[in-house]
Amino acid sequence: MKKLLALALCALLAISCFAFASAEEELPTFDQIVLGENTDLAADIHFVYHRTDLAGDDGKLAGYVKQFQETYPNINIEYELITDFAENALLRIGNNDWTIMGIPTVDKDELPNYFIPLGSLETLDGLYNFMSSWAYDGTCYGIPSTAAAQGVLYNKRIFQEAGVTELPKTPDEFIAALKLVKENTDAIPLYTNYAAGWTMGAWDAYIGVAATGKAEYMNQEFLHAKDPFTPNEDGTGPAAVYKILYDAVANGLIEEDYSTTDWEGCKPMLNNGEIATMVLGSWAFTQMRDAEGGEHPEDVGYMAFPITIDGKQYAPAGGDYNFGINVQATYEQKLASMYYLKWLTEESGFSYSEGGLPIAKDGEYPDLYAAFEGIDMVSDADALPGEETLLSELNSESELNFNAGGNTKVQAIVEHAFNGDESFEDIMAEWNQAWSDAQESLGVEVNE
Amino acid sequence: MSTSKSASYVPGGRRINWQKVAVILAFGIVPLALLIIFTYVPFAKMIQFSFYNMSYTKNKGFVGWQNYLRVFGKSEYVGAMLLSLYYMAGAVVQLSLALFFASILSLEKIRGAGFFKSAMFFPFLVNGIAIGYIFKFFYTRGFVLDTVLQAVGIPLESLPYWLRDQSINNWSLVFTSLWKYCGQNMILFIGAIASIDPTLYEAATIDGANRWQQFLHIILPGIKTVFMLNLILSITGSLSAFEPAYVVAGMGANGTATFFIKIHQMAHVSGKVGQACAMAMVLMVLILIFTAGQRLFFRFAMKDSDNTFSAKSNKAKALW
Amino acid sequence: MANNTTSVTASNTSARVKRGVIKFLEYFALIFASFVALLPIISSFMISFKTNAEYASTNAMTPPQNWLNFENYRQVWVDGDMLRAFLTSFSVVVVVVIVSVMMGSMLAYVLNRFAFPGNNLIRNLFMIATLIPGIAMQVTTYQIMKNFGLLNSIVGYMILMSGTDVISIYIFLQFFENLNVALDESAVLEGCTYFGVFFKILLPLTKPAIVTVAVLKGVGVYNEYYNANLYLQSNTWRTISTALYSFSGPFKSSYNIICAGVLLTLIPSLLIFLFFQKQVYAGLANGAVKG
């Protein structure tokens, strides 16, 4: 009953907002904006953002403004860059002292109160990546600034020397590639970084999108799944992720002494071809490439996680801050902001130069993602209303702690595989048991 | 008069001595308040929480003995408990070595005694986190320990992987504990031996007693109290051992997670405060049982030293 | 006769040989034990002078090419913000030692010198507290610290480190029991207040107990890391333990630099130990024997 009431209220609010907007003059949607038109548009834009590293009169952002003004000389853009942006933005979100802002952590149903709609999710999703993160009720309220995707670090030269001509796409291909590396080169096929702990927890990042191809898996289906860790015949699903690790260890495809791995030491090793692969997020790429003592930065590569679902590979990806436009701004400001954001997204190369994934579907991939073309980038969908905290509760109850510091369970896989004292199926059965018990004790509905 | 020791100044007869009240309040309130806030309140809460299913932010209700049953129901926890046997064995070796070196340094004229004392004691002053780094490097394949062992002629192939092989890694960790505390125990024993009346040795020498006999009949009885006290503390400390596994093996990875580390993970990784409290209660009860048991044993074993194991023996606890 | 003499000399010689062998074994044991105790530290010391390339290419026990290569130390000092960490740690040690000494001596004075209702109760409360293993209560202590808003607060950490201290109270209680009551009685008769008696007469006499508490608490607090890791996670209040700990993590340093950090943290301990060796030994021994 309460939910219904709240829904009705929200709808009313949304309608009134639309009504208010349409009372002036209809704004075009983001997809209808055509760059190069309307060049005499005049407005002052106040842009609030967190990238203080790009500040200054000769900083990167100022450069973008200058470039934009070559086409739109009458649109003035003033950047305000704030260090503790997350808090500051929340305080100011209801004010009229900004025009464009990186959307802070507000509840989605509040989006229409602060930001203008950019268009329907259906339309924009076809043109841009990661549009769903700030969409509410089928409407988008923000467009991502930059984005990142998760995969596997590898050394290109070693793969070549080993005879791995095509990047592995399935767990079997991956293990086969590691075996080739072991046979044909001196490199460690897969470096686990076991001792650091958090590096093992990093494997959890692939059990959602990468293993299932579904945006809804991690935060929605997983919570209600019955025995999610039962290994699938076709090498997909959460178990497939950990199976790769287990098999790599069991086949002797990892470092000799995993208990004393050295995180700092591994960086130049990957760079120099002493290590062939490491399973880590894209943030680690630049560290490996720029590692001190590393002599072959050009050999450091990044590939999608080797699981293929119905012939397709998926990479878990997510947008950084999304840009939103103030609902209280004037019509000219809103329109001018749309032109600027469209230009920023499609023509400025902002995301590319920041090492991020393209936001526009036809955008350019930075070197890091050279191997990601043709791979679907999907970001995790949010939890369903009322289940926002369920994943963390299940994590805690099951003590498995996926993507939440559950390093020891992944370390245990390495130990059992190495010592041969427990089969992979038994480990997964234990996890299933823990997950089922947690679901039961929290009264979670389980889908067969 | 509630105490016997303090009959000192009562000049004003029965009249309330306000200065005295002021001094008692001023000097007593802060330590007492801190004791209550940081010992008794947490203790009471620990008992209470152990019966609830709760996290740091949410309390999901009373669950009776369920948390306790789970502690004993999981072989994982019993196994973690059993790890303390390694540390107990280590404690016995550690104290024996400490006593051995303390006797040599006290009985014999040793050149460079000061240096030996300092060298063996110094590890006690090393920061725990530093110990983590130092020993990880020490045990890494082909690094410090392996190099030294190879230098004395042991081929690398016949050496184990000190932290990887689960048959030996707990011993490796126990050694780091021994490394840190042996010298400190030795200093304690030297202090205790020094307080033995020196004329006893002279008398013994005249009687023709050799070093071994002196050790057996003079030193051992003379430092029995301190020795047993430290033995009790070490063995009790073994039950809650966590330092080596926490800092050297990276939070108890690779089968080195002691019961205390399990408590830590339960509370701070999984956020199950109620469960962690029940585990802590079990640990505490075990420690109390062990302490009481050992005291009874020693009281029985050496009837003459009854009084030494009074409640005050916890003095040296800070050393653990 | 002659036979007799030889046999005596022979037995003397064999006794001397035996003593010599024993002496040799004793020295051997001592040298071996010292070597084992120092080896891990010496190896870290050598590594701390190696360059990155040298560290990667040479054996762990190979001495560094340049014993004066302080680059790693400089880097740790600057990047690790070690000065701040040292200042924080020193402040914590000083405050906690002073607070522990003051609280311990004051409470011991009150409990030992005055009869008042509740005296025994308080003694018992402290005695029972020693039986509860503090380590088991870390979970609920964390919650209390959280409720008081003392997470990530240096004051909170100081309070915790001094507030959970029962040992120093015991050491002082023990000490006061051996201080003659006649001392303060005569002072009181001369018109001195109780406060005056405590601060002017008794406190200076408790110097040995103060040394013991300072040694026990000082070493313990300076090297404490469990609570520091738990309660001081922000960069503002790093102790040497948390600063050292922060060298391991996603964006951190290589081992030769970490060793420089380890050695840096050892310097204050080493200096204090060298200058106050007797007091440190005596302090430890007192803390254990008198009890």
Which residue range forms the structural domain that includes residue C243?
A: 80-289
In a domain, C71, yes or no: no
Q: What is the 3-state secondary structure (H, E, C) of C161-212?
A: HHHCCCHHHHHHHHHHHCCCHHHHHHHHHCCCCHHHHHHHHHHHHCHHHHHH
C48 or B74, which is more confident: C48
In a domain, A172, yes or no: yes
Cβ-defined contact of B115 to C38 (cutoff 8 Å): no
Tokens (6 digits) for A145: 């600034």
Which residue range forms the structural domain that includes residue B84?
A: 78-268+286-319
In a domain, A371, yes or no: yes
pLDDT at A386: 85
ipTM: 0.87
C105 & C7 share domain: no
Decide if A257 touches B, using CB distance below 8 A.
Answer: yes
User: How many angstroms separate the CA atoms of A204 and A403, rounded?
Assistant: 5
Tokens (6 digits) for A410: 């992944």
User: How many angstroms separate the CA atoms of B69 and B278, rounded?
Assistant: 9
In a domain, A375, yes or no: yes
In a domain, A358, yes or no: no
pLDDT at B303: 56
pLDDT at A357: 84
C124 pLDDT above the threshold of 80: yes
A292 & A404 share domain: yes
Cβ-defined contact of A257 to B163 (cutoff 8 Å): yes
**C237-283 tens-digit pLDDT:** 889 988 888 776 555 567 888 899 999 999 999 998 888 888 888 88
C87 & C227 share domain: yes
In a domain, C153, yes or no: yes
**Helix H or strand E encompassing A128:** none
Of B136, B254, B269, the CB nearest to A401: B269
Of B250, B255, B271, the CB nearest to A415: B255
The interface residues of chain C toward chain B in range 209-238, judged by CB-CB distance below 8 A, are 216-217, 219-220, 222-226, 230
A40 & A181 share domain: no
The interface residues of chain B toward chain C in range 57-86, judged by CB-CB distance below 8 A, are none
Residue type, B166: Q
A102 & A157 share domain: no
In a domain, B167, yes or no: yes
In a domain, B298, yes or no: yes
Of B141, B166, B269, the CB nearest to A405: B269
Q: Kindly list the residues from chain A whose CB atom is less than 8 angstroms away from the CB atom of residue B57.
A: none
First to last CA, chain A: 29
Of A262, A396, A408, the CB nearest to B55: A396
CB pairs under 8 A between A and C: 25
C27 & C95 share domain: no
Cβ-defined contact of C171 to B119 (cutoff 8 Å): no
In a domain, C34, yes or no: yes
A270 & A390 share domain: yes
- The CA-based angle B241-B244-B245, given to 5 degrees, is 80
C210 & C261 share domain: yes
Cβ-defined contact of A263 to C52 (cutoff 8 Å): no
Task: Name the residue of chain A whose CA is nearest to C252's CA.
Answer: A264
pLDDT band at A57 (very low <50, low <70, confident <90, very high): confident
Which residue range forms the structural domain that includes residue A223?
A: 147-319+363-448
In a domain, A5, yes or no: no
**For chain B, which chains pass the contact test of at least 3 CB pairs under 8 Å?**
A, C
Instruction: Count structural domains, chain A.
Output: 2
A182 & A240 share domain: yes
**B243-268 tens-digit pLDDT:** 889 888 888 889 899 999 999 889 88
Instruction: Count structural domains, chain B.
Output: 1
At residue B254, what are phi and psi to the nearest 5 degrees?
60, 45
Cβ-defined contact of C250 to A263 (cutoff 8 Å): yes
Decide if B276 touches A, using CB distance below 8 A.
Answer: no
Tokens (6 digits) for B264: 């830590």
Q: Look up tokens 């490439």; give the residue.
A: A289
A165 pLDDT above the threshold of 50: yes
User: How many angstroms separate the CA atoms of B226 and C289, rounded?
Assistant: 6
Q: Look up tokens 């008992």; give the residue.
A: B47
Decide if B196 touches C, using CB distance below 8 A.
Answer: no
- Give A119's DSSP letter: E
Q: Kindly list the residues from chain B whose CB atom is less than 8 angstroms away from the CB atom of residue A395.
A: 270
**C157-171 tens-digit pLDDT:** 999 998 877 778 888
In a domain, C59, yes or no: no
A200 pLDDT above the threshold of 50: yes
Residues whose CB is less than 8 angstroms from the CB of residue B44 and which lie 6 or more positions away in sequence, other chains included: none
User: How many angstroms separate the CA atoms of A312 and A376, rounded?
Assistant: 8
Decide if C74 touches A, using CB distance below 8 A.
Answer: no
Strand partners, A139: A120, A136
Q: Other CB atoms closer than 10 Å to residue A189's CB: what's the count?
A: 25
pLDDT at A12: 53
In a domain, B53, yes or no: no
Of B136, B251, B254, the CB nearest to A415: B254
The CATH number assigned to the domain holding B313 equals: 1.10.3720.10
A39 pLDDT above the threshold of 70: yes
Q: Kindly list the residues from chain B whose CB atom is less than 8 angstroms away from the CB atom of residue C184.
A: 8-9
**For chain C, which chains pass the contact test of at least 3 CB pairs under 8 Å?**
A, B
Task: Name the residue of chain C whose CA is nearest to A197's CA.
Answer: C249
C89 & C226 share domain: yes
Residue type, C249: G
- The CA-based angle A369-A374-A378, given to 5 degrees, is 75
Decide if B258 touches A, using CB distance below 8 A.
Answer: no
- Give A230's DSSP letter: S
**B155-172 tens-digit pLDDT:** 999 999 999 999 999 999
Of B298, B263, B265, B295, nearest to B280 by C-alpha is B263
Decide if B42 touches C, using CB distance below 8 A.
Answer: yes
In a domain, B217, yes or no: yes
Question: Which whole-number Å values give the CA distances from A70 to A58, A59, A76, B127, C266, in the listed order?
Answer: 16, 17, 12, 61, 61
